[in-house]
Amino acid sequence: MVARPSREAVARWNTAYAEQTAALFAASRTGDLAAVVRLARGYSALAQAWRILAADLAVPLWARHACSIAAEEFERRAWIEDSRAGSAEQGER
C-alpha cells in the first residue's frame, strides 16, 4: 500500500494553492497594495499547507523533505511580498 497524506491536508493545500494563484494574477495585473498584501498572505497560507504535509508521518521521508523545502520557499516569497507591501505603504505616506 502506498502511503498518502490525509485528505484534509490535501484539501487545505488545494485551497491555499488556488488562493495564492488568484492572488498572484491579481498582483501581476494591478500591483496595488491590497493585491500585494493578498499575495503575501497567499504565500504564507501555502507555506503552512506545505508544512502540514511535511509533518504527515504517513508520507515517505523523501516526500516530507520535499514538502519542507517547498514550505521554506513559500515562506521566503511571503517575506518578500510583505517587504514590498511595506515599501509601497511607506511610499503612500
Dump pLDDT digits (tens) for 34-72: 999 999 999 999 999 999 999 998 889 999 999 999 999
Query: pTM of this prediction?
Result: 0.87
Mean pLDDT for all residues in the chain: 91
pLDDT at 92 over 70: no
Query: Does 36 map to a domain?
Result: yes
Query: Does 2 map to a domain?
Result: no
The number of distinct structural domains making up the chain is 1
Query: Does 50 map to a domain?
Result: yes
Query: Does 28 map to a domain?
Result: yes
Cβ count near 40 (within 10 Å):
22
Query: Does 1 map to a domain?
Result: no
Instruction: Work out the pLDDT band at 6, boundaries 50, 70, 90.
Output: confident
Query: Does 80 map to a domain?
Result: yes
Predicted local distance difference test score (pLDDT) of residue 46 = 97
Range of the domain at 46: 7-92
Query: Does 82 map to a domain?
Result: yes
Query: Does 19 map to a domain?
Result: yes
Question: Which residue in the block uniquely carries the three cell numbers 490535501?
Answer: 10
